[in-house]
Structure 1
Amino acid sequence: MTGYLRVPLSALDVAPVWTDSSATHSLRNTIALAERVEEFGYVRFWVAEHHNVPSLATAATAVLVGAVAGATSTIRVGSGGVLLPNHPPLIVAEQFGTLEALHPGRIDLGVGRAPGSLSPLTAQLLRRAEVDSDDDFQAQIAELTSYFSTLGDEQAASAHAGAAAENRPPMVLLGSSPGSARLAGGLGLPYAYAHHINPTATVASLAAYHETFRPSTRFERPYAIIASLVFVADSDGAARELAAPFLAGQVQMRSGSPDALFPTPEQAADFPYTPAQRVWARDRLDHQVWGSPQRVRDQVTELFRTTGADELMAVTMVYDHASRIHSYELLAEAVGHVPAGIRECFISH
């Protein structure tokens, strides 16, 4: 393939926890990873929100955003994302207004509506709000927006949200379907699509986003991020080995062990796959970005040509910390592009 694309790169981390490690160790690795990807020229580093999932340590998202921002100096840091029905919008505005005040021009507020857990009990413990429709979710977004500095036709806030009245990070809508894409487009927001969750709807969702985008007060044109699993090594075989513990862990979760930690490479090599599970794992990987730098270059180029995306956000779930850092480094060398100014990655005013 000729005419390769070079694209802005970002990282999304979930602080995976392995059977021979701990959540504390994973969180410290998250900070160390952010420091390295900043060196590699990545545009932004986001952390996810999960609750009551022992294998994923990103529960206190705003706290971790602050820790990452404090350990870095230029990379944008944000939430991928804050799951808005789990939180009063006032609290989210207070948290991210404070983060923006302390790290001006470097904070992103990504918001979504997923639960962040498969447990109904967890939703009850979080006192999760009932969000039955796009209208309900839009009402939450409108309330959240109102607490930040008012612009133009936006509604006045019902309460004062501390530093949010003076500081407003850009808001990004997360999703994994054409419906969420149309919502982001209609609201005139940047959109981050979860290709790592639903790769079969990526092309349709990005098309829906571009078709429905209406310029808003802050964003003049669409901006789309694709979040994909990424495993890069010196050869295709080595990259597949990097992915093996993650894939075995995914099969465990799907097979009725949601509390299991991710296995070590040795445990993954001995994992008792059924034939159907082995096919599922192979298909799961093949819909993502993986392989040698040459193979990854081909895959990313094709993905961006078919979707019109603006940025790739890599989700790299690798057991060995040094190998995970090396994967991000190889990705940057293969397809990375450092924009002229990090603060200009979203077109806003």
Structure 2
Amino acid sequence: MDRKPGLSVRLKLTLSYAGFLMLAGALLLLTVWVFLRSHLPDIAVMPGGVLNRATLMSTFTSAAGVVVVFLLVFGLLGGWILSGRMLAPLTRITDAARMATDGSLSHRILLDGRKDEFRELADAFDVMLARLEAHVAEQQRFAANASHELRTPLAISQALLEVARTDPAQMSGELVDRLHAVNARAIDLTEALLLLSQADQRAFSRERVDLSLLAEEATETLLPLAEKRGLTLETSGDVAPTHGSRALLLQLTTNLVHNAIVHNRPAPGTVWVTTAVDAKSVVLTVENTGEPLTPQLVSTLVEPFRRGTDRVRTDHAGAGLGLAIVRSITQAHDGTLTLTPRPGGGLRTTVQLPRWWLR
């Protein structure tokens, strides 16, 4: 943004300090002058002799002029030094901002001293830099992982098409089925990436949504998959009204239930879906039986394309974005996502969202 050049803040503070000092001094001298003019007799006996009032006032006026000049010089010099010391932290903050503009996010201001406005600004800027650095690193890691995940089905599709082109006789039903499956996986991954982007940008309209109804809809949709695996789906809880996108919150619930099914233990296993409500929030909890999980492994499950190498791998493992999408949707709705391992094995996932109030 182009701006016309102007006075620096340091110069403005210097002139303000000097001007205030001169004004205070001038008012003080004027007060003394008025006092002397009002109370000084026409003839005054001084140690040096007898002086009349006119001579004394003339002498005082000359001395006052010298004092005013001294105050001006002192104010400018002192104001320049003091403003420089006061603005030194701001200079460090400005330098750090310029470095961040040039692409460096690893530096920190680390302003020492006791807490004041400049320290609070510097600390807030350091926190912002740390979050930006982590966000950029996460986006770079996400882009690399997404490219890798998309490259695999595309490479397989290319290889299958090359086989079909070089030898049309090999274009069997099995080859078509494999090509269809690979293409479906690429489409699912692309749709997941678009959904994740939509949640991150908060590009959705909001309405009243009941999480208990979404939980019932998700379990009904995924019931055939659960029955095929010999699992039991149990849904219970209270009406849980919140405010947000019904489509995204349904996707969140479906992802959680699907994740609980495909990462369950061999039959018989169970998935519990419950909703609850308190004074300020609504809670959706999805639990499942399964293999024992460590807290270290659980903490990585919300990262994109992290399916958990120690968990049971199946043909329904998905694109590796299920819980990442859940986290993004939760954050877009100003909620919190908590993952904890169950003592007997399996995972407990809790989504807490703001409660909807009738206005």
State the TM-score, normalizing by the size of structure 1. Answer: 0.19
Higher RCO (C-alpha under 8 Å, 6+ residues apart)? 1
Task: Please identify which structure carries the higher helix content.
Answer: 2
